[in-house]
């Protein structure tokens, strides 16, 4: 096969983009490589209020560089990329979400909390509150990492800000503006964006900007808040029109590779040559891995259970279609054997739970097979989920979101109808059970009692209810953020927020209760 390769964009952090675009960089007066905004301060350190009327740089200003032209201000010379046929203008030097949103905007929010931009605005929190948030993050180490690399800053923005930070912000406008910013960033980090979601991003970013503007104008926030990153936020939507959501061309995967290169580059004098050799060597190793993997796969295939027969318990829609028919479900080893009468951690009533499960599926189970094939790990909907049983791990990956069909009785229509409700719980163990000559991929879970707080589901007072579920009911891996501050509000001893990437952008949750199951 022959193919032509075209360079469609170049991306990186702000200094890298400046180099690629031959732009003077964000410390110059004409700091933005995308638009003609002008810095507000004299001397070193430039800040940029995003005011109406700034124009986007033209494609010609890059293609026909002229140092005397006003349109070329901030450009140092002609970028080699500008002469490519595929060059599209300023967005060719695309903004990277991992550096721009995760790292810089997260840091800026933490800066507001800590008083870096002034202490008279409602987002500034007392030293005690800051310390408590820090301690809560530390306490959730297993599920939210605290070593703040760019990717971990994403966790801070997506999970810590709407929970641990928001609960300390009592001013309603401040809280709304902040949660709006988080929602906009969450959407900007997603793989797909509808027109409605793009409108919501725009609305939230404008709200955040005018919130900062208001506080700047009444002297409560310093001009330092208007960093280049705060400014660039407003260019994301136009970039999405050109290239689609930034997640698809993010430097996330590169970040890991860079870490690996960084460890391997030892030379002090010929860094470039050393880096080149390291890259070639790694590429060779990968090539061998790809070819060697075939052999390894053949050997390990017996350790994995796959499910192609969707008739074993896959739920049906009202139209008679199978739900989750696209989901790949696999059990990963180590596999083991147990019987239905064994008690597994906190669950000692498996026969009852099995009977209840098969009854809900309308399956005969008068003579139930006692044997279970157990598994410690499962692959569901693109997530690798651990079981809590006999598993000591650094990072908990066994909290899940479940979507279960529950019976509901309505006053208007007597009799039973079903509804889908959302539950959260921890997976104790995965197992395959053979019933009616079909292989059923199942999990025993402890379902949490939950309620909504500040738009986020929280686990209530540690109550749990055991249940056997079909793996297709497991929708997503979630994490817990434990807080002490909500104690009085939810009358619980400890409260844990339940968080996951789509939390802030998904539709409203229809939370189920213990009575439903």
Structure tokens at 13: 């952090």
Site stretch for Zn ion (CB under 5 A), options 33-41, 236-244, 270-278, 456-464: 33-41
Complex with Zn ion: residue 35 or 123, whichever CB lies closer:
35
Q: Which of 14, 21, 22, 32 binds Zn ion (CB under 5 A)?
A: 32
Structure tokens at 290: 């790809």
Angle at 195 between CA 191 and CA 200, to 5 degrees: 90
Here's the x/- map for Zn ion, 36-75, by CB under 5 A: it reads as -x--------------------------------------
Query: Distance between CA atoms of 345 and 363, rounded to whole angstroms?
Result: 27
CB of 209 to Zn ion, least distance (A): 13
CB of 34 to Zn ion, least distance (A): 4
CA dihedral 302, 308, 309, 314 (to 10 degrees): 120
Q: Please name the helix (run of DSSP H) or strand (run of DSSP E) that holds residue 378, with its range, or none.
A: strand 371-380
Q: Which of 14, 17, 22, 35 binds Zn ion (CB under 5 A)?
A: 35
Complex with Zn ion: residue 33 or 398, whichever CB lies closer:
33
Complex with Zn ion: residue 34 or 404, whichever CB lies closer:
34
- Is the distance from CB of 246 to CB of 236 less than 8 angstroms? yes
CB of 399 to Zn ion, least distance (A): 41
Complex with Zn ion: residue 32 or 305, whichever CB lies closer:
32
Restricted to residues 278-317, the positions that interact with Zn ion (CB under 5 A) are none
CB of 186 to Zn ion, least distance (A): 23
Query: Distance between CA atoms of 427 and 370, rounded to whole angstroms?
Result: 21
Closest CA to 189 of 147, 249, 146, 231: 249
The helix, strand and coil proportions of the chain, stated in percent and rounded to the nearest 5, come to 40, 25, 40
DSSP 323: T
Query: 271-300 and 252-264 are packed helices; what angle lies between their axes, rounded to 10 degrees?
Result: 110
Complex with Zn ion: residue 105 or 429, whichever CB lies closer:
105
CB of 234 to Zn ion, least distance (A): 7
Complex with Zn ion: residue 163 or 227, whichever CB lies closer:
227
CB of 500 to Zn ion, least distance (A): 33
CB of 35 to Zn ion, least distance (A): 3
Complex with Zn ion: residue 16 or 340, whichever CB lies closer:
16
CB of 40 to Zn ion, least distance (A): 13
CB of 43 to Zn ion, least distance (A): 21
Would the CA dihedral through 462, 465, 466, 471 be positive or negative? negative
CB of 204 to Zn ion, least distance (A): 19
Would the CA dihedral through 177, 180, 182, 184 be positive or negative? negative
Closest CA to 346 of 516, 465, 495, 462: 465
Query: Distance between CA atoms of 108 and 125, rounded to whole angstroms?
Result: 14
Q: Which of 20, 34, 184, 193 binds Zn ion (CB under 5 A)?
A: 34
Q: Name, in order, each residue with C-beta under 8 angstroms of 133's C-beta and a sequence gap of 6 or more.
A: 113, 125, 160, 164, 165, 168
Residues that contact Zn ion, how many (by CB under 5 A): 4
Query: Distance between CA atoms of 32 and 61, rounded to whole angstroms?
Result: 13
Complex with Zn ion: residue 125 or 233, whichever CB lies closer:
233
Query: Distance between CA atoms of 28 and 73, rounded to whole angstroms?
Result: 10
CB of 205 to Zn ion, least distance (A): 13
Scored b (16 or more CB within 10 A) or e, 326-356 reads ebebbbbeebeebeeeeebeebeebeebbee
Complex with Zn ion: residue 91 or 358, whichever CB lies closer:
91
Complex with Zn ion: residue 35 or 474, whichever CB lies closer:
35
Site stretch for Zn ion (CB under 5 A), options 28-36, 204-212, 262-270, 398-406: 28-36
**SS3 call for 131:** helix
Contact between 164 and Zn ion by CB under 5 A: the answer reads no
Complex with Zn ion: residue 233 or 388, whichever CB lies closer:
233
Alpha-carbon distances, residue 283 vs 250, 257, 265, 305 (angstroms): 21, 11, 15, 32
**In the complex, which residues of this chain contact Zn ion (CB under 5 A)?**
32, 34-35, 37
């Amino acid at each position: 096969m022959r193919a032509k390769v075209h360079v469609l964009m170049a991306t990186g952090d702000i200094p890298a983009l400046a180099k690629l675009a031959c732009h003077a960089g964000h410390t110059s007066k004409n700091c933005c490589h995308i638009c003609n905004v002008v810095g507000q301060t004299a001397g070193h350190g430039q800040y940029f209020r995003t005011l109406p009327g700034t124009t986007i740089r033209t494609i010609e200003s890059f293609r026909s560089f002229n140092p005397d032209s006003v349109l070329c201000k901030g450009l140092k010379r002609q970028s080699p990329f500008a002469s490519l046929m595929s060059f599209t203008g300023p967005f060719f030097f695309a903004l990277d979400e991992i550096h721009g949103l995760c790292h810089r905007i997260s840091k800026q929010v933490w800066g507001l909390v800590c008083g870096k931009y002034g202490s008279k605005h409602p987002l500034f929190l007392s030293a005690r509150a800051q310390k408590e948030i820090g301690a809560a993050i530390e306490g959730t180490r297993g599920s939210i990492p605290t070593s703040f690399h760019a990717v971990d800053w994403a966790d801070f923005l997506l999970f810590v800000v709407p929970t641990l930070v928001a609960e300390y912000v009592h001013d309603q406008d401040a809280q709304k503006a902040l949660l709006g910013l988080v929602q906009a960033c969450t959407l900007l980090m997603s793989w797909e964006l509808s027109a409605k979601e793009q409108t919501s991003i725009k609305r939230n970013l404008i709200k955040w900007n005018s919130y900062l503007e208001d506080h700047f104008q009444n002297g409560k926030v310093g001009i330092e808040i208007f960093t280049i990153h705060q400014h660039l936020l407003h260019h994301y939507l136009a970039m999405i029109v050109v290239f689609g959501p930034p997640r698809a061309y993010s430097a996330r995967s590169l970040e890991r590779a860079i870490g690996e290169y960084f460890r391997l580059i030892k030379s002090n004098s010929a860094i470039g040559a050393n880096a080149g050799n390291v890259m070639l060597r790694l590429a060779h190793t990968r090539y061998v891995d790809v070819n060697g993997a075939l052999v390894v796969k053949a050997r390990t295939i017996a350790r994995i259970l796959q499910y192609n027969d969707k008739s074993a318990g896959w739920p049906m829609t009202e139209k008679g279609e199978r739900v989750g028919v696209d989901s790949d479900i696999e059990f990963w080893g180590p596999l083991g054997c147990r019987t239905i009468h064994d008690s597994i951690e906190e669950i000692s009533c498996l026969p009852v739970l099995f009977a209840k499960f098969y009854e809900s599926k309308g399956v005969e189970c008068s003579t139930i097979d006692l044997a279970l094939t157990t598994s410690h790990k499962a692959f569901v909907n693109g997530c690798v989920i651990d079981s809590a049983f006999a598993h000591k791990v650094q990072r908990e990956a066994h909290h899940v979101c479940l979507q279960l069909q529950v019976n509901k009785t309505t006053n208007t229509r007597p009799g039973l109808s079903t509804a889908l409700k959302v539950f959260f719980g921890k997976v104790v163990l995965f197992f395959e059970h053979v019933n009616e000559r079909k292989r059923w991929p199942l999990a025993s879970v402890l379902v949490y009692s939950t309620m909504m707080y500040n738009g986020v589901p929280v686990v209530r007072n540690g109550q749990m209810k055991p249940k056997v579920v079909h793996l297709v009911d497991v929708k997503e891996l979630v994490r817990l953020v434990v807080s002490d501050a909500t104690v009085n509000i939810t009358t619980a001893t400890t409260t844990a927020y339940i968080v996951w990437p789509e939390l802030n952008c998904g539709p409203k949750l229809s939370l189920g209760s213990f009575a439903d199951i």
